[in-house]
Amino acid sequence: MSPTPAGPDAAPAAAPAPPRLDPAVAARLKQDPSGLVAAVVQQHGTGEVLMLAWMDEQALALTLTTGRATYWSRSRGELWRKGDTSGHVQHVRSVALDCDGDALLVVVDQVGAACHTGTATCFDGRDLGAVVGGTP
């Protein structure tokens, strides 16, 4: 017997549940009072720092399970996957948690500009002119 086709009154198919963060990883994660962790994003191969973003547990779970960098937008109050609107995608190569558990290092292959302003990194042309220290 063939399945009955869905009619106009048929219930929509349930959306798949979002991935959940591995409990062992969640236990090591030290979030700020807003539930966020800083994510330093670095270009694979060159080590260049591209940007700083924020992740909540869902953004981290999506990043770890999809191969695409996903972040939490503090200004918009929502998840955003890098490149969905700009086309400037970040393909994840690795994710590491720092020794204190309060920061992530996300190593990516960046496609296009990393910064929303169109620059290669969020730090291009923004040097503050600090005095360079040296060995006495």
* 22 assigned binding-site residue: no
Residue 99, burial from CB neighbour count under 10 angstroms (0-12, 13-18, 19+): exposed
84 is in an annotated binding site: no
Give the domain extent around 74: 36-110
The answer to whether the annotation marks 122 as part of a ligand binding site is: yes
pLDDT, one tens digit per residue, over 5-55 is 555 566 666 767 778 888 999 899 999 999 999 999 999 999 999 999 999
Q: Looking at the domain assignment, is residue 30 inside a domain? A: no
User: The CATH number of the domain where 70 resides is what?
Assistant: 3.10.20.810
Total domains present in the chain: 1
Evaluate whether 104 touches 92 at the Cβ level (below 8 Å). no
32 assigned ligand-binding residue: no
* Residue 100 assigned to a binding site: yes
The tens digit of pLDDT for each residue in 61-79 reads: 999 999 999 999 999 999 9
**Residue 124 assigned to a binding site:** no
Q: Is residue 106 one of the residues assigned to a domain?
A: yes
Model's pTM, two decimal places? 0.83
User: Looking at the domain assignment, is residue 22 inside a domain?
Assistant: no
Could you tell me which of 67, 35, 57, 55 has the C-alpha nearest to residue 105?
55
